[in-house]
């Protein structure tokens, strides 16, 4: 099931924040304070991202988190897949068979139900968009174009 939850929101905020601080370890406290996000919950999300090897962690004083990869080759698909994962579905085996994993979605890809096509489309968007795209305000990325079109069509929709 596609869900963009607070966990995802906090996780993406943190990831974007870390883009500007490469080769540095940033604490959960700092990020939480910067965006007025519940510190403890954010910490929990960061731990998840760390377990999934999207982040590196440094324990102890002056510790914190840092991107484990260049923002250019970290797709939102990866991040969202981790952030939206149900805590119950963390056993690795059922993780891959969930409705949201790319594999079963694609393996049955003469797609049947409409919602599966829609999910696949959104998945494609997430796969095309990197953390760099998300962090860059310029509209020269997949997200940018789709945001443009959202603007246009919503404007016409307001007139109906």
Residues of this chain that interact with DNA (CB under 7 A) are 1, 3, 5-7, 27-30, 38, 40-41, 43-44, 46-47, 50-51, 57-65, 84, 86-88
Largest CA-CA distance found in the chain, in angstroms, rounded: 58
74 contributes a contact to a copy of itself by CB under 8 A: no
3-state DSSP call for residue 119? helix
For residues 17 and 31, give the distance between their C-alpha atoms in angstroms, rounded to a whole number.
8
21 contact partners, CB below 8 Å, separation of at least 6 = 66
Give the residue, chosen from 8, 27, 58, 66, that forms a contact with a copy of itself under the rule CB under 8 A: 8
If the CB atoms of residues 44 and 127 are measured against DNA, the closer one turns out to be 44
Q: 55 has which bridge partners?
A: 67
- Residue 28 in the binding site for a copy of itself (CB under 8 A): no
The footprint of a copy of itself on residues 42-61 (CB under 8 A) is none
């Amino acid at each position: 099931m596609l869900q963009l939850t607070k966990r995802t929101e906090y996780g993406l905020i943190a990831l974007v924040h870390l883009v500007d601080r490469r080769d540095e370890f940033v604490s959960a406290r700092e990020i939480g304070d910067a965006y007025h996000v519940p510190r403890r919950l954010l910490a929990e999300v960061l731990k998840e991202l760390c377990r999934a090897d999207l982040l590196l962690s440094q324990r102890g004083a002056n510790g914190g988190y840092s991107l484990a990869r260049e923002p250019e080759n970290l797709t939102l698909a990866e991040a969202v897949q981790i952030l939206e994962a149900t805590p119950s579905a963390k056993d690795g085996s059922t993780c891959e068979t969930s409705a949201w994993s790319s594999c079963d979605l694609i393996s049955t890809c003469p797609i049947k139900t409409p919602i599966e096509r829609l999910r696949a489309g959104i998945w494609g968007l997430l796969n095309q968009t990197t953390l760099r795209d998300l962090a860059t305000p310029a509209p020269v990325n997949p997200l940018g174009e789709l945001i443009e079109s959202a603007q246009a069509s919503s404007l016409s929709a307001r007139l109906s």
